[in-house]
Structure 1
Amino acid sequence: MRWRVPGAPPPFLDTFDGCRPGNRSSVRPASAPMRSSPPVGGHPQAVPADGWPGAQARLTRKGWRTLVEPRGRTRWAIGGLLAGGIVVNFLDRTAISVASSSIADEFGLDLQQLGVVLSAFTWSYCLVQLPAGMLVDILGVSRLTRIASALWAVAGLLTAVAGGVGPIILARLLLGVAEGPSMVGASKATAAWFPVSERGMATALFDGATKLANMVSFPVLAFVMSEWGWRAGFLFSAAVSLLFTVVWWWGYRDPSEYRSLRPAEREFILRGGARDTDRGGLRQFRSALRSGRVWTVACGFACYGYTINIVLTWMPEFLQREFHVRLLQSGFYSMVPWAIATVAELAVGGWLVDRLIRRGRDPWVVRRTVLTCGLALGGTIGAAGSAGSPAVAVCWMSVSLAGLAIAAPVAWALPGLLAPPGAVGAVSGLMNFLNTAATAGGVLLTGWLAQMTGSFDAPFLFAVAVLAVGVALYWRALRPVPVREQDPARQLHKV
């Protein structure tokens, strides 16, 4: 008997017992003790006696269709709320990129000095990732996000009234601290609210919101700042953040606390392998840190973040300096790559990945292929620096961002699949810590290389090399392991 539902990862990967993708030596034999469980969709199923989370026998196609279509769509409403929070996050973040030229002109900044202002958010955001991951596990997503979202509005207001570069940097540092739990919390909430069979689309929903936010925020903020000045853009983002705080306070609860959640949908979520929302602590965090595979995956994600945040932070400035386009025009140019990236992420990184896994393809082969091919496609950013027109540059950036967007939801789904119980936030925090450290360094390095060489060719080519490292790391971390490697202690730490 096979012990996996199509789309569900082997339970031993969910509990960190050291087994690696492709190793079926740890799958319990058919003679293992069994206990019965209620049928799902009218089809009985078998569950091991030790109660692996999400472990089920293979269902018939009809039973699977019934299982994945329960009455109630509360989980997707929660997914939409998570995506809305990420949109607000990135509206706050991109405001500084749109205002960069105006701020540089007002305060007389060169590219290196402007790089310090642009990277201020990233440094504080990076430093709080590990504690934010632990706080998400300890306090829960709901409570921590209520506090954090109120601080987003405060940071935007302080930036709008700043009278110099110093106060702007301090306000951006505060925003970095306040937004620290955002992606980590979304990852943990997705693991709690969605079964594994829907995890790809659910993750693509909140991560795709980052691309949607960039698509919308650049032209909107460019229009606001062109009409009323750069400070008005930060007042606008502060107002939106305050509105989201009210909506989140009213609308989000964990599945166990959501009274209107239908029993059939709750059962579907739990049987589909959703992770519990138990509070974690230092023991779970140390368990995650001891895994070599988690570190390799986290470093691969840092390579992704290095490149995509170069585009996020420097695209308007690149278009204005290299091709002398106006602020409003650069905002609309910047919208195109993010629109394409949003569609690519939802269609390929979300829907197609889930569909392939449901149809019986090996989940880890699918994830590894999508991750590595997406990062490789992201390397086309190297051609943008030598483009002869803004339209050609935007085309190359669109291809690059589409590839990176395809990889993103798969990468963000890994903490919910790999982390030990009570440590999804901690693993997400570690992954995002290395990601933002690379991002902060990348923003500064891009400004320095552009200043020294007089163009953006060198920074973009260096990003290609970084992505090549990411491809190698993911290919190694998610590779199948021969059945003969049966020692769990060796497999846990060996990558």
Structure 2
Amino acid sequence: MRWRILALLFLARIGLGLQFQTMASVGDDLSVAFGFDWAGIGVLIGLFMAPGLVLALPAGYWGRFVSDRIMVAAGLGVLALGGGLCALAAGPWSLGLGRVLGGVGFLFTTLYFTKMVADWFDGREIATAMSILVMSWPLGIAMGQLGHAWLAAQWGWRVPFLAASSYTLLAGLAVLWLYRPPAGLPAAQGGAAPSLSPMEWRLILCAAGAWAAFNAAYVVYLSFGPQMLSHHGQSDLAAAGVISLASWLMIFSGAACGQLVDRFGRRSLVLTSCMVAAIAAVLLLGAPAGGPGGGLAASLLFGLVGMAPAGVIMALAGQALRPETRAFGMGVFFTIYYALMMVTPPVAGLLLDKTGAPEAPLWLAAGLFALVVPLGFGFELNKTARVRPAPGQA
């Protein structure tokens, strides 16, 4: 049953990546239509994450009163509504409002998708399950990188927003109809949420920082990597195809990496090795001597190795928290995630505008990937301290 539930959540969560990618895919068209520079496009990308900064903690608390199924279905509906508003936008303000509204739906779905999988796989192959769930995000993005560009070329920039909204609306209906919680899980109930222990705070802060830095770097790669390849002479569609290759590959490498860690452990070694590969890939993409061939090699390395530990990092959140603190703890986790995700795209866009160097945003991505390693080690050190017997205890 749990694997069927995971399949349902995976298919529904594809809509998150599909909707998020719309803005980056039609950025050039919006620049022509509304006169945006790349810092402005970065702001619109980042606005998708803005609601999470103020709503993640309340969203975690509201799980005490409303079932996970309702939270996710409603969130997907709001996400579809935000995309529809962007499709009808007549100017920057309505575009921004649509992105913020979509971000509200994205927040609720992201938080409770993660909690649902943690509930179903608590103590059993959680790294594998989280890896599979997390891969729905790059799959949606990869579908959007190719599909949105084609739709925009054929029918204009509004159609990708409508297509993504249609998918997320159908996904919400599917979750509402088909999802069931695991047996024995306490039903949503009012009252104050249990407090996080000091150790849980340390663990969730390390996990959240690692997840936020990892994803922020990935978004910079997706949003500004095509500009680097266009600078080397590739067409916009060809550049989008090369960059999307990494997202397709990580769907398989991520699941394999989660299975590897579940079977053999060595999480810190795997995480460090993969982050070194990710840094090498983004630097290769930005190397002037790399050219189009370097872009293909960079995407292969990035997808096969650099992005493989996505689910392993996400699984840290489930391992940091007790079941009774999981909803609130996920709110803390995603508050930190959204804070970094909101500011990173505008900063990357500003670097590109100020320097005129298409590789400048990729330097930022490399620095963020490097930050994942000490945060991962910090999690391991605190987790080891939690399970270490007290002095004199057997």
TM-score normalised by structure 2 residue count = 0.90
Give the corresponding residue for 2:327.
425
Shift of 1:483: 8.9
2:225–2:362 contact (8 Å) kept in structure 1: no
Matched, 1:135 2:39: no
1:95 alignment partner in structure 2: 22
Gaps spanning 5+ residues in structure 2: where? none
Q: CA deviation at 1:284?
A: 2.3
Q: Of residues 82, 97, 103 in structure 2, which corresponds to 1:176?
A: 103
Query: What is the identity, as a one-letter code, of the residue corresponding to 1:294?
Result: I
Q: In structure 1, which of residues 386, 391, 406 is the aligned counterpart of residue 287 of structure 2?
A: 386
| 1:133-152, Cα deviation, whole Å (9 max, x unpaired) | 22235423101112111112
2:390 corresponds to which residue? 486
Instruction: Provide the residue aligned with 2:269 in structure 1.
Output: 369
- Structure 1 partner of 2:33: 106
Please, which moves more after superposition, 85-94 or 322-331? 322-331
CA contact (8 A) 2:284 2:294 kept: no
Instruction: Check whether the contact 1:303–1:466 (CA below 8 A) recurs between aligned residues.
Output: yes
Is 1:339 equivalent to 2:254 in the alignment?
A: no
**Structure 2 counterpart of 1:325, which letter?**
Q
| 1:184, distance to aligned residue in structure 2 (A) | 1.7
The offset of 1:106, in angstroms, is: 1.1
Aligned to 1:83: 10
Structure 1 contact 416–424 (Cα < 8 Å) conserved? yes
* Structure 1 pair 401–290 and aligned structure 2 pair: CA distance change class (3 A): same
* Equivalent residues of 1:150, 1:245 under 8 A apart: yes
Q: Does residue 299 of structure 2 align to residue 415 of structure 1?
A: no
What displacement does 1:281 show? 5.9
Q: Structure 2 matches for 1:18-167, cutoff 5 A?
A: 74-167=1-94
Kindly state the Cα deviation for residue 251 of structure 1 after the two structures are TM-superposed. 0.6
Specify whether residues 183 and 371 from structure 1 end up closer, same or farther in structure 2 by C-alpha distance, changes over 3 A only: farther
Q: Looking at CA atoms only, which structure, 1 or 2, has the larger radius of gyration? A: 1
- The alignment partner of 2:307 has SS state of helix
Give the residue type in structure 2 aligned to 1:351: Q
Change in CA separation of 1:224 and 1:192 when aligned onto 2, cut-off 3 Å: same
Quick one: which amino acid aligns to residue 345 of structure 1?
G
Cα-to-partner distance string for 1:79-131 (whole Å, 9 max, x where unaligned)? 01111121011101101111111001111122222222222112223332222
User: Does the CA-based 8 Å contact 1:305-1:438 persist in structure 2?
Assistant: no
What is the CA distance between 1:326 and its match in structure 2?
Answer: 3.2
Percent same amino acid at aligned positions?
A: 23
- CA contact under 8 A between 1:315 and 1:334: conserved in structure 2? yes
In 2: Cα distance, 1:137 partner to 1:396 partner: 44
Alpha-carbon spacing, 1:241–1:290, altered in 2? closer, same or farther (3 Å) = closer
Amino acid at match of 1:311: Y
Q: Describe the SS at the equivalent of 1:85.
A: helix
Q: Is the 8 A contact 2:228 2:359 kept in 1?
A: no
Counterpart of 1:396 (choices 298, 311, 316) is: 298
Cα deviation per residue 1:182-222 (whole Å; 9 max; x = unaligned)? 22212211122225232122111110111222222211111
CA distance in 2, matches of 1:305, 1:317: 19
Q: In 1, distance between residues paired with 2:44 and 2:136?
A: 25
Q: For the structure 1 residues 377 and 120, does the alpha-carbon distance in structure 2 shift closer, same or farther, using more than 3 Å as the test? A: same
Q: Could you tell me which of 435, 438, 445 is aligned with 2:340?
A: 438
Unaligned runs of 5+ in 1: 1-73, 257-269, 357-362, 488-495
- 8 Å Cα contact 1:368/1:475 also seen in 2: yes
2: CA distance, partners of 1:109 / 1:456? 17
What CA deviation, in whole Å up to 9, does each residue of 1:386-435 have, x standing for no partner? 24323312422442344443221112112222212322122223222212
Partner of 1:292: 202
Which AA in structure 2 matches 1:158? Answer: L
CA drift at 1:378: 1.8
Q: Counterpart amino acid of 1:129?
A: A
Q: Aligned equivalents of 2:306 and 2:67: distance in 1?
A: 30
Aligned match of 1:224 in 151, 162, 165? 151
SS of residue in 1 equivalent to 2:48: helix
The separation in 1 between residues aligned to 2:305 and 2:334, in whole angstroms, is 19
Q: Tell me: CA distance 1:120–1:101, structure 2 relative to 1, closer, same or farther (3 Å).
A: same
TM-score in terms of structure 1 length:
0.72
How far apart in 2 are the matches of 1:375 and 1:313? 19
Deviation digits for residues 416-460 of structure 1, max 9, x if unmatched?
222123221222232222122112221111111111111133322
* CA pair 421-200 structure 1, distance change in 2 beyond 3 A: closer
Aligned to 1:66: none
CA distance in 1, matches of 2:31, 2:260: 43
The CA distance in 2 between the partners of 1:406 and 1:105, in whole Å, is 36
CA distance in 1 between counterparts of 2:308 and 2:82 reads 31
Instruction: State the partner residue of 1:250.
Output: 177
Residue 469 of structure 1: CA displacement?
2.5
Whether contact under 8 Å (2:25, 2:149) holds in the other structure is: yes
Moved more, 424-433 or 180-189: 424-433
**Structure 1 residues 100 and 383: CA distance shift in structure 2, 3 A:** same
> Do the aligned partners of 2:242 and 2:299 also contact (CA within 8 Å) in 1?
no
Q: Which residue of 2 aligns with 1:325?
A: 234
Distance of aligned partners of 1:138 and 1:409 in 2 relative to their CA distance in 1, 3 Å threshold: farther
Change (3 A) 1:371 1:431: farther
- Partner secondary structure for residue 250 of structure 1: helix
| CA–CA separation in structure 2 for the residues paired with 1:125 and 1:182 | 11
CA RMSD of aligned residues (A): 2.5
Select which of 355, 363, 366 maps to 2:263.
355
Q: Which structure shows the bigger proportion of residues in helix conformation?
A: 2
SS of the counterpart of 1:336?
Answer: helix
